[in-house]
């Protein structure tokens, strides 16, 4: 497995692989890899001849007071996981390689970035879209894989790719969960034992929302209340949002129909956690979990 810390060396290597006729599948990450990243890398291996992983904690997607300085770093373990999964190359740039001066050029995705996490994290998706555009231009992948757990990020990036005609196919890997349902996240490591136990209620609350829909409820307000009630029962009282939006355009809905995203963000102690389920409601009323795209 190759590791590169400069753009020029990575580009030269990718160019060589492409000249050999190999397709490139790319998984951008911020490191602290877990089973969710593993699912992305495995998906990438299905979709491309060679897999490139980037590990870069992108400062422009963190707001003031967020956890940039304490974001977990486990580089040796990350590289070992990549090696075990057959990754061909890992790109691990320093911040100064990615941002040579104060960044003054931004990719802005309008509309999609205002609901859900966009409300409490102004500038977050601008930072995400910009660094992903930069990484796509550096790696020049045929395919890139993101995790559905960061659903809004996936929709924003897919929109960016479409509207800027980026020659990249965006694919998704499903959310991977602990046995008790907690979605894997690099931030789960921040949780102490009691908070970790409470965190299991996030997914249970999403399932309570799903159950309400399965029982025939179509009113967003009462479905959201079912989620909120289950969060409260689980001892989670700092709820940033519980929202029901369309799965394609992330527009808030009053009634559930077709494919919808039920998303949650909560704070447990000082740790902010998000999760979601994408649900398809069939004409016969059947409810199944689905992928965003």
DSSP string, 206-254: HHHHHHHHHTT--BHHHHHHHHHHHHHHTT--EEEEEEEEETTT--B-S
Spatial distance between the Cα atoms of 76 and 248, rounded to a whole number of angstroms: 37
Applying CB under 8 A, among 105, 193, 282, 286 the residue interacting with a copy of itself is: 105
Applying CB under 8 A, among 133, 199, 220, 264 the residue interacting with a copy of itself is: 133
Smallest distance from the beta carbon of 12 to a copy of itself, in angstroms? 12
State the Rg of the chain over Cα.
19
Choose the binding region for a copy of itself from 76-84, 159-167, 171-179, 200-208 (rule: CB under 8 A): 159-167
Choose the binding region for a copy of itself from 77-85, 109-117, 212-220, 221-229 (rule: CB under 8 A): 109-117
Contact between residue 25 and residue 145 where contact means Cβ atoms under 8 Å apart? yes
Say which of 34, 37, 124, 210 is annotated catalytic.
37
Active site residue 34: no
Decide if residue 108 touches a copy of itself (CB under 8 A): yes
- Dihedral sign (CA 70, 76, 77, 81): positive
End-to-end Cα separation, the chain, in angstroms: 31
Q: Contacts with a copy of itself in 165-224 (CB under 8 A)?
A: 165-167
Decide if residue 124 touches a copy of itself (CB under 8 A): no
Catalytically active residues are: 37
* Binding-site ranges for a copy of itself (CB under 8 A): 7, 11, 100, 103-112, 129-130, 133-134, 137-138, 140, 159-160, 162-167
């Amino acid at each position: 497995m190759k590791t590169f810390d400069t753009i020029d060396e990575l580009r030269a290597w990718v160019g060589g692989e492409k000249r050999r006729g190999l397709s490139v599948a790319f998984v951008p990450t911020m490191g602290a890899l877990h089973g969710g990243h593993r699912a992305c890398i495995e998906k990438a291996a299905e979709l491309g001849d060679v897999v490139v992983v980037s590990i870069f904690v992108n400062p422009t997607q963190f707001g003031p007071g967020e956890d940039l300085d304490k974001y977990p770093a486990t580089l040796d373990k990350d590289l070992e996981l990549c090696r075990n999964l057959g990754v061909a190359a890992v790109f691990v740039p320093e911040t100064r390689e990615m941002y040579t001066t104060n960044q003054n050029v931004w990719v802005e995705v309008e509309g999609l970035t205002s609901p859900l996490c966009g409300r409490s994290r102004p500038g977050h998706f601008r930072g995400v879209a910009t660094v992903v555009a930069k990484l796509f231009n550096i790696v020049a992948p045929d395919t890139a894989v993101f995790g559905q757990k960061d659903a809004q990020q996936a929709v924003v990036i897919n929109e960016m790719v479409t509207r800027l005609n980026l020659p990249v196919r965006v694919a998704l890997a499903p959310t991977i969960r602990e046995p008790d349902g907690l979605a894997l996240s690099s931030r789960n490591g921040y949780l102490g034992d009691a908070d970790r136990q409470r965190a299991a209620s996030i997914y249970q609350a999403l399932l309570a929302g799903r159950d309400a829909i399965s029982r025939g409820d179509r009113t967003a307000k009462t479905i959201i209340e079912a989620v909120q009630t289950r969060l409260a029962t689980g001892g989670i009282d700092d709820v940033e949002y519980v929202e029901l939006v369309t799965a394609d355009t992330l527009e808030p809905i009053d009634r559930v129909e077709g494919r919808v995203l039920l998303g949650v963000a909560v704070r447990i102690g000082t740790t902010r956690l998000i999760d979601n389920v994408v649900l398809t409601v069939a004409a016969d009323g059947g409810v199944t979990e689905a992928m965003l795209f």
